[in-house]
Amino acid sequence: MERNINELASYCLNCKVKPCQSGCPLGNDIPEFIKNVKEENFEQAYKVLSKTTVLESICGRICPHMSQCMGKCVRGIKSNPVNIGDLEAFVGDKALQNGYRMDDVEVAKNGKKVAIIGSGPAGLTCAAFLARNGFEVTIYEKRDKLGGLLRYGIPEFRLSKDILDNAINKILNLGIEVQLNTELGTDVKLEDLSEKYDFVFISIGANIPWKMGIEGEDLQGVYGGNTLLEYNSHPDYHGKKVAVIGGGNVAMDCARTINKMGAEKVTVIYRRAEEQMPAEKKEIKDAKDEGVEFLFQTNIVKILGDSNVEKVECIKTELVQKEGDSRLSPVDIEGSNYELDMDYVVMAIGSVPEEKIVNLLGLECDKKGYIKINDNYETSMKNVLAGGDVAGTKSTVAWAARTGRNVAEIIMTRLNKGGTTNENSLE
């Protein structure tokens, strides 16, 4: 394995301008960590990565590398890019196996306390960077295990729960406290936390599926992709035909999971062209290799059935350039309607926060239901910050982790200077 890793590392040109780093949401110093891998100085490679991330084993496996770091690699202009993901995962796994220490860990506590609500990538990253800088951190999680999206939204075949558990334990070993089975707004009040802690960071997910607003969405057999993955609440797919609507990684995870669970046929329906799909190209290829079918430039306009799904009505689309748009937009082709027999329909077109929870918090929200924040992640309540899916920010794992790190840096700056946010943060 290490010989193969050395070959992968040797393929890197160690560019001085580091375009791959600019493509990484976390700004990892990719050439520097790969240089250390090449020299078999794996612990130093880990220390380089740990300056900017604490999810090496995870991001190395599940990030959309071709639309981030690897997509910027100069090797990819004329050939294949450096396999940055495999190299990062290798270093992260080495650190877990050998107990490497993160870079610049501050042992002494500074007496400042922060509550983190939610244990997905944003919450875990924020907690880690605060704890390693001397803050007393408590994570509040509504489920009985930590991980959020990483545990309940990503299938086992993409991210092993053993790897996730090991990565989380390494973070918790920084001295972080955990309160499980504790839901914000129900088991603990935001006002009470804001009094008890110097800062509160809300990083809960947004797992209520968006709807298309078409006829038949309320029929039995129509599911939200995020809900299926989070709660593992699948029906029996054996001998059934399933349509998955959407083109992102959630759609790919749903399609591949359902296919592996014995569906007769899984069809991904996406209204744009294949090259416009936001899903990672590797995930699309894997889905195809596993037998998932795709209908591109196709929209669904109606779900048909008495009480259960029986058919979906589709319409073909053409891609046109609309004024002011940076990419081609799908437009329905009149008269191209046709029907497909289906037993289940899975909507994987996006999600919003749970309205009940957000309302209980009493924070100002935007018209889509996301918690409203300013450029410093401040909400309408004093010393309460929010980020990640619940605030509608960029939603890949790496971007969520970057949000968590940004929030940690803001909190450290404020508290190290002895300051707090304004009484009404959004003003």
**In-domain check, residue 240:** yes
Structural domain that includes position 60: 2-98
Task: Indicate whether 374 and 406 sit together in one domain.
Answer: yes
Rounded to an integer, what distance in angstroms lies between the CA atom of residue 42 and that of residue 255? 37
Task: Indicate whether 368 and 342 sit together in one domain.
Answer: no
- The residue type at 300: I
Task: Indicate whether 339 and 407 sit together in one domain.
Answer: no
Backbone phi, psi, residue 406, to 5°: -60, -45
> Which has the closest alpha carbon to 59: 411, 427, 405, 417?
405
Which tokens belong to 97? 């196996």
Rounded to an integer, what distance in angstroms lies between the CA atom of residue 30 and that of residue 278? 23
Query: Concatenated DSSP letters for 81-129?
Result: PP-HHHHHHHHHHHHHHHTPPPTT-B-S--S-EEEEE--SHHHHHHHHH
Task: Indicate whether 127 and 186 sit together in one domain.
Answer: yes
The pLDDT value recorded for residue 422 is 44
The pLDDT value recorded for residue 205 is 81
Residues 82, 88, 93, 98: is their CA dihedral positive or negative? Answer: positive
**In-domain check, residue 108:** no
Task: Indicate whether 170 and 40 sit together in one domain.
Answer: no
| Coil/strand/helix, residue 9 | helix
Query: What count of residues does the chain have?
Result: 427
Task: Indicate whether 324 and 368 sit together in one domain.
Answer: no
> Which has the closest alpha carbon to 138: 191, 201, 94, 86?
201
Tell me how many domains the chain contains: 3
Task: Indicate whether 251 and 284 sit together in one domain.
Answer: yes
**In-domain check, residue 106:** no
**In-domain check, residue 391:** yes
Task: Indicate whether 346 and 358 sit together in one domain.
Answer: no
Which tokens belong to 140? 């509040």
CATH code at position 179: 3.50.50.60
Q: Which residues contact 171 (CB under 8 A, 6 or more apart)?
A: 54, 124, 127, 128, 131
Rounded to an integer, what distance in angstroms lies between the CA atom of residue 423 and that of residue 427? 9
Which tokens belong to 350? 């996006």
Cα angle, residue 340 at apex, residues 336 and 344 outer, rounded to 5°: 135
Task: Indicate whether 243 and 337 sit together in one domain.
Answer: yes
**In-domain check, residue 107:** no
Of 64, 98, 132, the residue at which a domain comes to its end is 98
DSSP one-letter code for 236: -
Per-residue pLDDT of the chain (427 residues; tens, 9 = 90+): 565 898 999 999 999 899 999 999 999 999 999 999 999 999 999 999 999 999 999 999 999 998 899 999 999 999 999 999 999 999 999 999 999 999 878 768 889 999 999 999 999 999 999 999 999 999 999 999 999 999 999 999 999 999 999 999 999 999 999 999 999 888 999 999 999 999 999 999 877 778 889 999 999 999 999 889 988 889 999 999 999 999 999 999 999 999 999 999 999 999 999 999 989 888 999 999 999 999 999 999 999 999 999 999 999 999 998 877 778 899 999 999 999 999 999 999 987 777 767 777 788 888 878 889 999 999 999 999 999 888 887 668 999 999 999 999 999 999 875 544 444 455 5
**Distance of CA 330 to CAs 5, 212, 417, Å?**
42, 15, 51
Write b or e for each residue in 173-184: b if 16 or more Cβ atoms lie within 10 A of its Cβ, otherwise e. Answer: ebebebeeebeb
Task: Indicate whether 217 and 172 sit together in one domain.
Answer: no
Of 312, 335, 350, the residue at which a domain comes to its end is 350
**pTM of this prediction?**
0.91
**In-domain check, residue 422:** no
Contact of 5 with 86, CB cutoff 8 Å: yes
Q: Which residues contact 213 (CB under 8 A, 6 or more apart)?
A: none
Beta 113-117 vs 136-140: how paired, if at all? parallel
Q: Which residues contact 170 (CB under 8 A, 6 or more apart)?
A: 54, 95, 96
Task: Indicate whether 119 and 197 sit together in one domain.
Answer: yes
Of 324, 350, 376, the residue at which a domain comes to its end is 350
The pLDDT value recorded for residue 421 is 45
The pLDDT value recorded for residue 419 is 46
Task: Indicate whether 125 and 173 sit together in one domain.
Answer: yes
Q: Is residue 72 packed enough to be buried (19+ CB in 10 Å), middle (13-18) or exposed (0-12)?
A: buried
CATH code at position 90: 1.10.1060.10
Q: Which residues contact 220 (CB under 8 A, 6 or more apart)?
A: 305, 307, 308, 309
